[in-house]
Amino acid sequence: MTGLAVMENVRRYRAIASICRQTAAFRPVQRCSLLTQAEEWERRAVVELERHFERHRQLNRPPS
């Protein structure tokens, strides 16, 4: 996956997390569930970035 595709995924995941947080502000009954969902989307964004940089680091590692 290209760096641009990774960044687009991260942008989308964080946008969804933001929508969850905004919705939580207006739906007190669902607040806990929505905030949990927001945390999950943020976690997905971090995992996506970590995987990308780990692959990049491994590809650019000098031979032993």
State residue 1's pLDDT score.
81
Q: Give yes or no for a contact between 17 and 36, defined as CB atoms under 8 angstroms apart.
A: no
State residue 6's pLDDT score.
95
Helix (H) or strand (E) holding 16: helix 3-26
State residue 64's pLDDT score.
59
18: Cβ contacts below 8 Å, ≥ 6 apart: 38
- SS3 at position 1: coil
Q: Give yes or no for a contact between 57 and 29, defined as CB atoms under 8 angstroms apart.
A: no
Per-residue pLDDT of the chain (64 residues; tens, 9 = 90+): 888 999 999 999 999 999 999 999 999 999 999 999 999 999 999 999 999 999 989 988 776 5
Residue found by looking up tokens 């946008």 in the block: 15
